Amino acid sequence: MFTVLNQASGKSFQSAGDAPVLDDALAHGLNFPYGCQNGFCGKCKAVVLNGEIDYDGDVPAALTEQDLEANMALLCQCRATSDLYINVDELDDLANIEVRSLPCKVEQINRLNHDVIQIMLKIPGAQSLQYLAGQYLDLEHSDFEPRAFSIANAPVNSNLIELHVRLVEDGQFTNFIFNSLTEKTILRIEGPKGDFFLREESDKPAILIAGGTGFGPIKAIVEHLISIDSQRKIHIYWGVRAEEDIYSSLPSEWANEFETISYTPVLSEANGSWRGEKGYVHEAVIQDFSNLSDYEVYACGPPIMVRAAASGCLERGLSKKHFYSDAFEYAFEENADD
């Protein structure tokens, strides 16, 4: 048994070395940041100040040469092989959020467009799920591996959970959802998970960047801000390929109803009739904001979009600590179907 000590908080936990360091930390109640838990997003990177770790296979691609030179490890993939002394900034906001496994019933299934479906899940009885706006959960079915989906509604009525699911080519689970899942089916959920959530204590204006069904958690964040009567200035950018991929009118409705909310849809493959913004969504943000030093940015969607948004926003003066992201990793063997 090895002792893992976090220099940043002074907290420690025990690890037998047979599970990833992140799993052991979460099991002991430590609120380490993480995202996909599959080794792709890099959110759980941490500096190993002393001690030895190992990976089951090759070093994950999320670790760059510079990361390795700085003794950084990917906690969701590495295992302790000795006592460890690490440095991780824990997330206080998650301290009272319990990850739970709960049964749920498919209450409604609604097709939002040609390749996006809305699922409303109801947690039976008096049970509920406490979560922060923007987090995700794992959806479980006995015939498939669990899949990660962002929660698309604000944590106001938490016995109802809304998911936006995009049909993934050759994705077994998403094809099942689109073609075979029926209302009243009993599934299980495990969550909430992830460190992508609204920093509610901040009063900084926020830029919310969504790619595809990355609109789901952005929707949850906006709905929560509205529910608490927040006066923060909110700029929503939603990037999709074509106009038919804009599967919700809610952003336009919010922008019309609330003076604090603006909305810019961006099409990367627009046809000749489109009069709005064209190109990539992060480029529209960079075009509109020359200085982001006083902003927060929340970006959710495909990894290439999230990385481009991070790079462009940091070049515009955004503080790295004020860039929050969730990169959907469905391209990697359907590890997440969002």
| Confidence (pLDDT) at 158 | 67
Question: Cβ(171)–Cβ(303) under 8 Å?
Answer: no
Give domain 206-327's CATH architecture.
3-Layer(aba) Sandwich (3.40)
Long-range own/partner contacts, residues 246-254 (CB < 8 A, 24 or more apart): 247/112, 247/113, 247/116, 247/164, 247/215, 248/112, 248/215, 248/219, 250/219, 250/222, 251/215, 251/222, 254/222, 254/226
For the stretch 309-329, pLDDT in tens is: 999 999 999 999 999 999 876
- Listed in sequence order, the residues at least 6 apart from 187 whose beta carbon sits closer than 8 Å to its beta carbon are 103, 104, 105, 106, 121, 139, 140, 141
pLDDT tens digits, residue range 290-311?
Answer: 999 999 999 999 999 999 999 9
Confidence check: pLDDT of 42 > 90: no
CATH class for the region spanning 2-88:
alpha beta
Lowest mean pLDDT among 100-114, 187-201, 273-287, 318-332: 318-332
Given a cut of 70, whether residue 157 has pLDDT beyond it is: no
pLDDT: which is higher, 136 or 89: 136
Confidence of residue 141 (pLDDT cuts 50, 70, 90): very high
Sheet strand arrangement including 323-327:
277-278, 261-267, 234-240, 206-211, 296-301, 323-327
Segment 103-133, tens digit of pLDDT? 999 999 999 999 999 999 999 877 788 899 9
Phi, psi of 78, rounded to the nearest 5 degrees? -90, 155
Q: Highest mean pLDDT: which of 56-70, 79-93, 171-185, 249-263?
A: 249-263
Look up residue 33 and give its DSSP letter.
-
Whole-model pTM over 0.75: yes
Kindly state the greatest CA–CA separation across the chain: 64
Residue 79's φ and ψ, nearest 5 degrees, are -120, 145
CB within 8 A of 273, min separation 6: which ones?
A: none
Q: Which CATH class is domain 97-193?
A: mainly beta
Phi/psi of residue 28, nearest 5 degrees: -95, 10
Helix 250-257 and helix 215-227, axial crossing angle in degrees, nearest 10: 30
Q: Give me the residue spans of the domains in the chain.
A: 2-88, 97-193, 206-327
- Torsion sign, CA atoms 193, 195, 200, 204: negative
Which of the four pLDDT bands, split at 50, 70 and 90, describes residue 38?
Answer: confident
